[in-house]
Structure 1
Amino acid sequence: MNWLLVITGAMVGAPLRYLTDRTVQSKHDSLFPWGTFTVNVVGCLILGLLTGAVTAGAANSQVQLLVGTGLCGALSTYSTFSYETLRLAEDGARFYAAANIAASVVAGLGAAFTGAAFAQAIWG
């Protein structure tokens, strides 16, 4: 049964990732990978909120599998982040590559902490 929860979450997360990435990127005429950046930060925010909810007892392990492992696992993407950063560096856009690394780490951690703090405020 657990695998079905993960698959169900991923069935929502994967197309959501693709559609969000394409929509966001189409609105920016920039080398910076805004689409991937957006889905990764949103995934971190959701996972932080979920972690806070689980810690507070407001969500159970099934929700964690569905939303955390399934949805967030398919929504966010470390491999695409790595590929796009490498591609930027190889194409000579080293500033964008470094900015992608720094901004992704700072914004991702910030989003996760914000989500956890929000959960603490609601359920703590």
Structure 2
Amino acid sequence: MANVLICLSASKYNSRVIDKGAQIAKSNHAVLSAIFVQTPKYEGASAASKSCLRENIKYAESKGAKVTILYGQDVLPQLVEYVGVSQVDCVVLEKKLAKQALFKLKDIDIYSVNLLMCDKEVIEV
């Protein structure tokens, strides 16, 4: 395994995804990358959600991730396209997105992280 990708969100529980991705990357001597897909829904997000996203980006970077911001109408197509061109071997996602990605990323290891609690103001991904 050479490349691990994590998907960032504005969830205050996204640190669990970041931690799992960093753990997998470290134990496999892999490169850690992170993406955030900015959709039109993000524009209407609260200042608190945007602040949480900034904190998640900083936290991912502190774990060694190179962060890329993508833009699109929906997260899944952008994620699939990014994985297709970036030679990713493993993707770590929040459970809801992982279920959707499972059918689109057939040759990629997908790790699902259950956030256990739901944010009231999580941007749908």
Q: What is the TM-score when the length of structure 1 is the normalising length?
A: 0.35
Structure with higher Rg: it is 1
Q: Hey, which of these two has a bigger chunk of strand by percent?
A: 2
Q: What is the TM-score when the length of structure 2 is the normalising length?
A: 0.35
